[in-house]
Amino acid sequence: MSISEEYKARARRQAENMADDFDPAEAEDFARSHQDKSWHEDFILLYRMITTRGFSLSPRTWAIIAGALAYVILPLDVIPDFLPGVGWMDDIAVLGAAMAAIKGDIERFAQFGNGSDHGQT
């Protein structure tokens, strides 16, 4: 099954809109309050990738990361987060898909030093 160009364009627009709504301070607060979640490390990795000074990202990669983080943070989800056992499944899937889409950038970030030697913006 192939994805139509119209569907791809609509998905890109939605990701860009979510990226525009992304608030780094809100992401940091959200991450702190959800440290018990299994996906916390992935969320923090993506957050560090877009906030580490000196690490450059393409607009496409930045939009993927910001869109994924915004999806996890924003209350409007495909599966409401308050549903026990399944509420976070879509959020985890979005983070996983984002990480798969930018695997090369994640590897490059690991070589950059994971932000450990660099300041956050």
pLDDT tens sequence across 68-83 = 998 888 877 777 766 7
Task: Compute the half-sphere exposure of residue 88: CA atoms within 13 Å on the CB side of its CA.
Answer: 13
In this predicted structure, the answer to whether residue 21 has a pLDDT above a threshold of 80 is no
Give the total residue count for the chain: 121
d(CA 115, CA 109): 8
pLDDT tens sequence across 44-102 = 899 999 889 899 999 999 999 999 998 888 877 777 766 766 777 888 889 999 999 99
